[in-house]
Copies of this chain bind each other. A is one copy, B any other.
Amino acid sequence: MSHRFPLPPGSMIGVLGGGQLGRMLALAAARLGFDVTILEPEPDSPASRVAARTLEAPYDDREALKTLAATCDVVTFEFENVPAAVVEQLEMLGALAAPGKRALAVAQDRVDEKEFFRGLGIPTADFAAIAGPGDIRAVLARLGGRALLKTRREGYDGKGQTWVEGEADAVAAFARVGKKPAILEARVPFVRELSVIAARSRSGGIACYPVGENRHENGILRTTHAPARVSAATRAEAEAIARQTLEALDYVGVIGVELFELDGGALCVNEFAPRVHNSGHWTLDGCEVDQFEQHVRAVAGWPLGKTEALAEVTMTNLIGVEAKDWKTLAADPSARLWLYGKRTARDGRKMGHVNRLKSFDR
């Protein structure tokens, strides 16, 4: 397909991944008159049921990628574990992917990601790569004996990561993750977890949403409150980090940057997600242009939209059986309910979320 920007309404946007993020991207694309093709290996995915077309195939299926490249004016993704090789193939087939493969490659490897931030002078937790059990003792000693062990690649919602204390514990944990290349990260004495959702357009324009304050439970995001009650200096610092990241990656689309706020307000980056982000779901009811429309605008070469918060919002994820409360939530006028259309409520599975608004003047 030829890629003339801005893409006119009626253009086809490809999305790798058919989960809730793909679903909400498809809804946002429809608002602007775009059509969406989903590539997703699982049948009956949440996004497939609101998309013009679904290719049910593995992400690296050659025929599916050919179809995507031939029929989509731009291809994007809803999660960062798409093999970078897939994006490369798509590009070789003539497709345009956004955000590009550099953002994907950096985000896919926790060591590369931390080195990327370090290279920009952006603080991160102290860390070291673990290639084999022999690396553990020295690194752990440097990090103070207690550290977070994560696989370098894959894993989300706290999967594939565990706190370790002492060498024996760390060696056992390393064995449990299958002796895959890993990273050990020092504990960051943070007072709060924040995130900044930002977007960069094809022409290099950048827009940041107000910083959100996140609470995790068992490694899974529980609530986001936005705008976070942070100082102007902390907000400016968070935005500067997002800005630097977007520019260094020559990024197009929405990014989610997770931050730790230290005592005194200084910030340290945890990680970034090269996609729309759970901690930006508050924008669906709290902003004129939500993160999904913003992402569609960016990848389609449209100008970015307004990011001001219209109200204070608390977003609460509905995890697993919590979505069974839908009757109560449907009857609660203060709850703006989003359900993702997932058929079964497995433990830890994100089934929906609720936004609760509080007007600024109250």
Contacts and interface: CB of A to CB of B under 8 A. Distances in A.
Interface of A: 6, 8-10, 23, 26-27, 30-35, 48-52, 285, 288, 297, 302-303, 305-306, 310, 323, 326-327, 330-331, 333, 336-341, 343, 352, 357, 361
Contacts of A306: 333
A326 B9 contact: yes
Nearest to A343: B10
Contacts of A27: 27, 30-31, 50
A124 to B, nearest CB: 35
A37 to B, nearest CB: 10
A48 to B, nearest CB: 8
Contacts of A297: 330
A330 B302 contact: yes
Contact of A357 (B48, B50, B288, B302): B288
Given A30-B23, A50-B50, A10 B333 contact: no
A96 to B, nearest CB: 19
A10 to B, nearest CB: 7
Contacts of A33: 326, 339-341, 352
Contact of A341 (B10, B48, B339): B10
Contacts of A285: 288
Contacts of A51: 49-50
Contacts of A32: 330, 337-339
A51 to B, nearest CB: 8
Contacts of A310: 310
Contact of A31 (B35, B52, B338): B338
A333 B357 contact: no
B288 A339 contact: no
A302 B331 CA distance: 7
Contacts of A35: 49, 341
B49 A49 contact: no
A158 B120 CA distance: 62
A305 B333 contact: yes
Contacts of A331: 302-303
A288 B361 CA distance: 17
Given A6-B327, A9-B341, A302-B330, 8 more contacts: A9-B323, A10-B341, A30-B49, A33-B341, A288-B336, A305-B333, A306-B333, A361-B361
A285 B289 CA distance: 10
B52 A52 contact: no
- Chain B CB within 10 Å — which of A26, A31, A343 has the most? A31
Nearest to A305: B333
Contacts of A338: 31-32
